[in-house]
Structure 1
Amino acid sequence: MFSLSFSGSGSATIGADVSPIIPETEDKFIMVVVPTYNEAENLPSLLKVLFGLGLNLRVLIVDDNSPDGTGQLANQLAVDDYPGKLEVLKRPGKMGLGSAYITGFKHALSRGASFIVEMDADFSHDPKVLKEFARVIKKADVTVGSRYVAGGSIDERWKLIRRIISKGGSIYARAVLRLKVQDTTAGFKMFRAEVLRKLPLEKVRSNGYAFQVEMAYLCQKNGFKVVEVPIHFSDRELGKSKMSAKIALEAAWRVWQIKFRY
């Protein structure tokens, strides 16, 4: 077993301990929200790993009518393999990452989840890190899987331009919004349910990576304790990346909109 000790920078380091993670009780469970668009190749493997972690969790798939049949596959898995553990919300079309997460968060809250996770379906986020999140959340309000704190890293297959956009975007957002979190566009997080209940989710307008910046800003503005956990961010093995120049540009101007909206 491991626990995490906290430094002044808000990052976490691993040390030996025998403390429990999250109580295995039906009234205190984690709901993992996974937006999908053409992730049929990754979904069965992801669910197998998630449900094999030994955590008391459920999974919510928010599918934007994937042409590759991800939604239909998720429904089949929910009935045949994970009854009572896997839920599926199917939306009429591609409506954006931010709105998918907001929809998922609200659904998770309505189901009574105590902790809510956001993560990608493509294994760029290692599901096994959820065990560390579950330990950290005992002393935090939000945990963030960070590439840019000590111990964090990015897949060596990332092209230079993508590294510049990612790292530069974090520096830019931190400068404009005075954010303390190092990885402002991190999409792998665990929230206490009370955090999401208190945040003005109905005001969130950002999609793409700007959504992550907006959520980071709202958490800081509302005084929640955010702790970054170092992760290795892997490039996807299967399927196609959703990153585009349009998404990067949206994030750039949305930062200023976020600054003056709240």
Structure 2
Amino acid sequence: MSNSIVIIPTYNEIENIEAIIRAVFDLQRDFHVLVVDDNSPDGTGACVKALQQEFAGRLFLETRMEKSGLGTAYIHGFKWAIDKKYDYIFEMDADFSHNPSDLLRLLKACENNADVAVGSRYKKGVNVVNWPLYRVLLSYGASVYVKMVTGMRVHDPTAGFVCYRRAVLENIDLDSVRFVGYAFQIEMKFRAYLKNYNIEEVSIIFRDREKGKSKMSSSIISEAIWGVLAMKLRSLFQRKKF
């Protein structure tokens, strides 16, 4: 059995899901894949079910009844993977903004010294392709803001391409994680940081999706701006709960 599981949350990713699954299974390492689908009306879940016949014992599907947010999808996947005793648990988008081959580099980092390996867009400059300037400025500005507020020295705290050792996720109270949008990524890294886990960044090139629609919204941005400040204040008075 593989010791590594890649969690891919989906909602209406029919244009990407088969290709991303095949790309992971084509790697020279035995990764398993768990798709957490929010009952996509476009048939994403049905596509995964069909592929399970070809990739029996390697491809898994958890279907939730409604669209409930990125953070809760990952929490669902984390608990599933912990229960199955995977040693290395990955987050990855379905839309090829993360290069599946970089899974190998994140895994290597965690097999060496890292407790959390982050696929970083900003470790070495700005490595983003096909994003409009306002998105680059928004994302990079958010990273600077998060570092200032939290004290973390992570260049890309909003990154969604991550490898966790299982012990890290076992020692975080997943039921108390508050954020459900992209700020979820910040909160998870912050909780690992407060527990003194070794967070290392692996420089990657991030490419904007070519197919499907972005899930970014104004509410997600608001959560990141105001929520991070509230999270930092809570950590000062309720550190044991983090």
* Misfit runs of 4+, over 4 Å: none
1:42-93 CA-to-partner distances (Å, cap 9, x unmatched) read 0111111100102121100000011101111111111x21111011000011
1:15 corresponds in structure 2 to: none
Checking the alignment, whether the CA contact within 8 Å between 1:51 and 1:57 is kept in structure 2 is yes
1:88 corresponds in structure 2 to: 61
Higher helix share: 2
1:171 corresponds in structure 2 to: 144
Determine the C-alpha separation between the residues in 1 that align with 2:33 and 2:59.
5
Determine the C-alpha separation between the residues in 1 that align with 2:35 and 2:230.
29
2:35 corresponds in structure 1 to: 61
Does residue 219 of the first structure (1) align with residue 195 of the second (2)?
A: no
2:109 corresponds in structure 1 to: 136
Determine the C-alpha separation between the residues in 2 that align with 1:240 and 1:234.
14
Aligned mate of 1:147, from 95, 112, 121: 121
Determine the C-alpha separation between the residues in 2 that align with 1:55 and 1:154.
26
Determine the C-alpha separation between the residues in 2 that align with 1:152 and 1:112.
36
Structure 1 residues without counterparts, runs of 5 or longer = 1-25
Aligned mate of 1:76, from 29, 39, 50: 50
1:9-48 CA-to-partner distances (Å, cap 9, x unmatched) read xxxxxxxxxxxxxxxxx3x510100000011110111111
Deviation, structure 1 residue 260: 2.4
Does residue 249 of the first structure (1) align with residue 222 of the second (2)?
A: yes
Checking the alignment, whether the CA contact within 8 Å between 1:149 and 1:230 is kept in structure 2 is yes
Task: State TM-score, norm by structure 2.
Answer: 0.94
Deviation, structure 1 residue 151: 6.2
Checking the alignment, whether the CA contact within 8 Å between 1:29 and 1:57 is kept in structure 2 is yes
SS at match of 1:162: helix
Checking the alignment, whether the CA contact within 8 Å between 1:143 and 1:228 is kept in structure 2 is yes
Structure 2 residues without counterparts, runs of 5 or longer = 236-242
Determine the C-alpha separation between the residues in 1 that align with 2:225 and 2:180.
12
Determine the C-alpha separation between the residues in 2 that align with 1:241 and 1:113.
30
Deviation, structure 1 residue 134: 1.6
1:1-262 mapped onto 2 (5 Å cutoff): 26=1, 29-78=3-52, 80-137=53-110, 138-150=112-124, 153-155=127-129, 157-262=130-235
Percent identical among aligned pairs is 44
- What one-letter code is carried by the residue in structure 1 that aligns with 2:202? V
Determine the C-alpha separation between the residues in 1 that align with 2:170 and 2:29.
23
Deviation, structure 1 residue 150: 1.5
SS at match of 1:128: helix
Equivalent residue pairs, number: 234
SS at match of 2:118: strand
Determine the C-alpha separation between the residues in 2 that align with 1:228 and 1:152.
14
1:177-211 CA-to-partner distances (Å, cap 9, x unmatched) read 11110101000000000110011111101011110
Please report the RMSD computed on the Cα atoms of aligned residues, expressed in angstroms.
1.1
Determine the C-alpha separation between the residues in 1 that align with 2:221 and 2:126.
22
Deviation, structure 1 residue 261: 2.5
